[in-house]
A and B are shown apart, each in its own frame.
Chain A
Amino acid sequence: MSSDTTHAQGQQHPISIYLWIWGWLFVLSAFSYTVDLLELQGLLRWSLILLFMFLKAGLIVAVFMHMMWERMAIILAILAPPGAILVLIALMALEGDYTFVTRLLYFHNPAALAE
């Protein structure tokens, strides 16, 4: 954690850092776009998309939203609660899958017939 913390006058950082991050966001977006252009499929595609997504999100939150210069108190207060969402995501993924499987097993499936 960097030590040039906040001060009554608010956040002061050299303009170059914003430009750098800006550039990185461009590059990362371009990468994600390339993933689609190259029509990568399967695990590679998902992991790359997620990787670029999290990098971008991290940069925005850390630098543009000044999170990396905030005090630990606020960082944790903001970053901890979304943990609940992770549980929801995990369980809903399982649930969606379960629903899909019962449908596949018992329901007439027009798409499968068409193939």
Chain B
Amino acid sequence: MAQTTHDQYPLIGPRELEEMELYHPKTWLGKYVFSQDAKVIAIQYSLTAIAIGVVALVLSVIMRLQLGFPNTFSFIDPSNYLQAVTMHGMIMVVYLLTALFLGGFGNYLIPLMVGARDMVFPYVNMLSYWIYLLAVLILVASFFVPGGATGAGWTLYPPQAVSPGTPGIDGGIILMLLSLCVFIVGFTMGGLNYVVTVLQARTRGMTLMRMPLTVWGIFMATVLALLAFPALLVSCIMMLLDRTLGTSFFMPAMQSLGDSTSYNGGSPILWQHLFWFFGHPEVYIVALPAFGIVSDLVATHARKNIFGYRMMVWAILAIGGLSFVVWAHHMYVSGMNPYFGFFFATTTLIIAVPTALKVYNWVLTLWRGNIRLNVPMLFAIGFIFTFINGGLTGLFLGNVTVDVPLSDTYFVVGHFHMVMAVSPILVIFGAIYHWYPKITGRMFNTALAKWHFWITFLGTYAIYYPMHYLGFAGVPRRYYAYGDTAFMSDSVQDVNVAITIAAIVVALGQLLFFYNMARSYFKGEEAGPNPWGATTLEWQTEHTPPRHGNFGEELPIVYRWAYDYGVPGARDDFIPQNVPPDDAHISHDSDRHPEIDPGHDPAGKEHD
């Protein structure tokens, strides 16, 4: 039955498809600056995100200098320190990772991987980037207003975020909130594009269950973002009103540094709920694309099909759904209704199940694979290590009773850096190395890249592993200095020095990466269209780098899933997705992946 319905479905795609040809730019400005080509937009997004990411990196070094060598640097006082912490956290999470994964990788890879000529609304896509840039500029401007950037912590908890005694309550917080609002508007424009492209503009034969996991990860992350950012938008608007008009959404009756205020009756906890209703999906927004990409890296470089593709997809969906009902695990000690602890501890541990499933599948994919330790593979394996590490500490924190002593200590800092600052960053590097040959047409310098990997991988372990120990020792986070605190042993300071040194080494190590990227762009060897022997569509384009419109005259037709690696009897040891069964030299209905329903295989129709 399913078969018949499918056959009758017309061959031509959505009617809008033909219009993709309409907007070929004529001017230089239209081609490279106000480009509507998703690939150019992707590069623009990425470069902007990395540039602002480097700012956040510098801020983290400033923090580390203070923590490692207190009282040494006179330019770091408590307000500068808090400003650095805040901006570091916010930039890294929102302006670097979210933008880079979705705006950067999403734009580049989605149309190519699903076999579309471009995003469905190229014009809106272009606007999305420019609005994002505006948001970044507003954010940067907040460093330079009187009073400086906000120092409220990246969670911006009221009342403190808008009350005297916190740095940046004049211009800083207002610009921060504005910048977030602008970011969200820009992101929504892009996000609608990614989602609709995945849902409505795939090529012939590309079913959802044949999409590479990269696309799945980015797609689900985008959906989460579209549903989670509204909560942040709303809370930012309300805080702006509290700050500028004196409304009392989040502000109860209170005193402020000895002065009475005119606020009355608001609820600070409300902000926390809304923020984390956004915030927890947000951490998966930065994790899911990493999950997806790493699956593809692992499969490609281990020459093996991904283990349990179907399970992986369902796990992504489950994580996406569950991530909306765990938010208050960040609030166990926030003074909320304490009975919520039961609910959220339970849901939090449930969400670990699909995540653990993914981890097992990666490991099983590697199991007896023909592992090629190419640079992207190194990063992927590094990711698996750090993610397991960070995920397990997450379970500690998720268990409400264990969280109570650990919350707001360096244990939490260790957890989220392991799981967010190291793991996805490793994936980003791995992904950049993986797709660099496609994007530029040239190969990077492998030796330098390996150095870069080992410095970053071992170095970040050296930074964050000791932080867990600090957390057990009771060292609180967001502290400018510890003074003499009796229960902290002297070794705490020694550990801090070591962490700082490691952080500086890692930060300097990134210069290798930038040098490698820049040099190879001009001097690297020609890479050829498919250096890694990958199956997905972006490696099968007519040109490398792909031109505007991505594919040649005809859109590719997809005959198989994305993981036909190490196929016995195939010409190469892999079969690209767009190779028809006849050309693959092996029978099409082999037993490799019986979970793919052949009934939906248009190949069946084309060849009978």
A and B touch in the complex (CB under 8 A): yes
Report the minimum CB–CB distance from B322 to chain A (whole Å): 10
Given contacts A87-B325, A92-B273, contact A99 B267 (CB under 8 A): yes
Interface contact B227-A95, CB-CB below 8 Å: no
Given contacts A87-B324, A87-B325, A99-B267, contact A81 B227 (CB under 8 A): yes
Q: Is B584 an interface residue (CB 8 A)?
A: no
Q: What residues on B are CB-neighbors of A91 within 8 Å?
A: 273, 328, 340, 343
Q: Is B349 an interface residue (CB 8 A)?
A: no
Q: Is A84 an interface residue (CB 8 A)?
A: yes
Question: When the two chains form the complex, which single residue of A81, A84, A88, A96 contacts B267, counting CB atoms closer than 8 Å?
Answer: A96
Q: How far is the CA of A40 from the CA of B556 in the complex (A)?
A: 65
Interface contact A95-B269, CB-CB below 8 Å: yes
Interface contact B337-A84, CB-CB below 8 Å: no
Interface contact A84-B273, CB-CB below 8 Å: no
Given contacts A88-B277, A92-B273, contact A98 B324 (CB under 8 A): no
Contact string against B for A residues 89-114, beta-carbon threshold 8 Å, 1 for contact and 0 otherwise = 00110111011000000000000000
Q: Is B336 an interface residue (CB 8 A)?
A: yes
Interface contact A84-B324, CB-CB below 8 Å: yes
Interface contact A84-B227, CB-CB below 8 Å: yes
List the A residue with the shortest CB-CB distance to B10. Answer: A8
Q: B residues 313-342 with Cβ under 8 Å of A?
A: 324-325, 328, 336-337, 339-340
Q: What residues on B are CB-neighbors of A88 within 8 Å?
A: 273, 277
Q: What residues on A are CB-neighbors of B340 within 8 Å?
A: 91, 94-95
Q: How far is the CA of A94 from the CA of B270 in the complex (A)?
A: 12
Q: What residues on B are CB-neighbors of A81 within 8 Å?
A: 227
Report the minimum CB–CB distance from A84 to chain B (whole Å): 4
Q: A residues 45-90 with Cβ under 8 Å of B?
A: 81, 84, 87-88
List the B residue with the shortest CB-CB distance to A73. Answer: B199
Q: How far is the CA of A84 from the CA of B277 in the complex (A)?
A: 10
List the A residue with the shortest CB-CB distance to B272. Answer: A95
Q: How far is the CA of A98 from the CA of B270 in the complex (A)?
A: 12
Report the minimum CB–CB distance from B262 to chain A (whole Å): 15
List the B residue with the shortest CB-CB distance to A82. Answer: B227
Interface contact B227-A98, CB-CB below 8 Å: no
**Number of B residues with CB within 8 Å of any CB on chain A:** 14
List the A residue with the shortest CB-CB distance to B327. Answer: A88
List the A residue with the shortest CB-CB distance to B328. Answer: A91
Given contacts A88-B277, A91-B340, contact A99 B269 (CB under 8 A): yes
Max chain B Cβ within 10 angstroms of own Cβ: one of A81, A84, A87, A88: A84
**Number of A residues with CB within 8 Å of any CB on chain B:** 11
Q: How far is the CA of A81 from the CA of B281 in the complex (A)?
A: 13
Interface contact B277-A95, CB-CB below 8 Å: no
Interface contact A95-B325, CB-CB below 8 Å: no
Interface contact B324-A95, CB-CB below 8 Å: no
Contact string against A for B residues 254-284, beta-carbon threshold 8 Å, 1 for contact and 0 otherwise = 0000000000000101100100010000000
List the B residue with the shortest CB-CB distance to A80. Answer: B321
Q: What residues on B are CB-neighbors of A94 within 8 Å?
A: 337, 339-340
Report the minimum CB–CB distance from B293 to chain A (whole Å): 25
Question: When the two chains form the complex, which single residue of B277, B328, B337, B343 contacts A98, counting CB atoms closer than 8 Å?
Answer: B337
Q: What residues on B are CB-neighbors of A92 within 8 Å?
A: 270, 273
Q: How far is the CA of A92 from the CA of B273 in the complex (A)?
A: 8
List the A residue with the shortest CB-CB distance to B265. Answer: A103
Report the minimum CB–CB distance from B254 to chain A (whole Å): 12
Q: How far is the CA of A95 from the CA of B267 in the complex (A)?
A: 10
Q: What residues on B are CB-neighbors of A87 within 8 Å?
A: 324-325
Q: How far is the CA of A95 from the CA of B343 in the complex (A)?
A: 13
Report the minimum CB–CB distance from B453 to chain A (whole Å): 38
Q: What residues on A are CB-neighbors of B269 within 8 Å?
A: 95, 99
Q: What residues on A are CB-neighbors of B277 within 8 Å?
A: 88
List the B residue with the shortest CB-CB distance to A97. Answer: B337
Report the minimum CB–CB distance from B252 to chain A (whole Å): 9
Report the minimum CB–CB distance from B10 to chain A (whole Å): 9
Report the minimum CB–CB distance from A90 to chain B (whole Å): 10
Q: How far is the CA of A80 from the CA of B134 in the complex (A)?
A: 34
Q: How far is the CA of A99 from the CA of B273 in the complex (A)?
A: 13
Q: How far is the CA of A69 from the CA of B270 in the complex (A)?
A: 39
Report the minimum CB–CB distance from A93 to chain B (whole Å): 11
Report the minimum CB–CB distance from A40 to chain B (whole Å): 28
Q: How far is the CA of A98 from the CA of B328 in the complex (A)?
A: 15
Report the minimum CB–CB distance from B13 to chain A (whole Å): 13
List the A residue with the shortest CB-CB distance to B331. Answer: A95
Q: What residues on A are CB-neighbors of B273 within 8 Å?
A: 88, 91-92, 95
Q: What residues on B are CB-neighbors of A84 within 8 Å?
A: 227, 324-325
Q: What residues on B are CB-neighbors of A96 within 8 Å?
A: 267
List the B residue with the shortest CB-CB distance to A98. Answer: B337
Max chain A Cβ within 10 angstroms of own Cβ: one of B227, B277, B337: B337
Q: How far is the CA of A98 from the CA of B267 in the complex (A)?
A: 11
List the A residue with the shortest CB-CB distance to B322. Answer: A84
Q: How far is the CA of A84 from the CA of B227 in the complex (A)?
A: 9
Report the minimum CB–CB distance from A103 to chain B (whole Å): 9
Report the minimum CB–CB distance from A26 to chain B (whole Å): 31
List the A residue with the shortest CB-CB distance to B336. Answer: A95
Q: How far is the CA of A84 from the CA of B269 in the complex (A)?
A: 19
List the A residue with the shortest CB-CB distance to B15. Answer: A8
Q: Which residues of B contact A (CB under 8 A)?
A: 227, 267, 269-270, 273, 277, 324-325, 328, 336-337, 339-340, 343
Other A-B contacts than A84-B227, A88-B273, 14 sampled, CB-CB below 8 A, are A81-B227, A84-B324, A87-B324, A87-B325, A91-B328, A92-B270, A92-B273, A94-B339, A95-B269, A95-B270, A95-B273, A95-B340, A98-B337, A99-B267
Q: Which 10 A-B pairs have the closest CB atoms?
A: A84-B324, A98-B337, A87-B325, A95-B337, A94-B337, A99-B267, A81-B227, A88-B277, A95-B336, A92-B273
Q: Write 14 A-B pairs (CB below 8 A) sorted by A numbering.
A: A81-B227, A87-B325, A91-B273, A94-B337, A94-B340, A95-B269, A95-B270, A95-B273, A95-B336, A95-B337, A95-B340, A98-B337, A99-B267, A99-B269
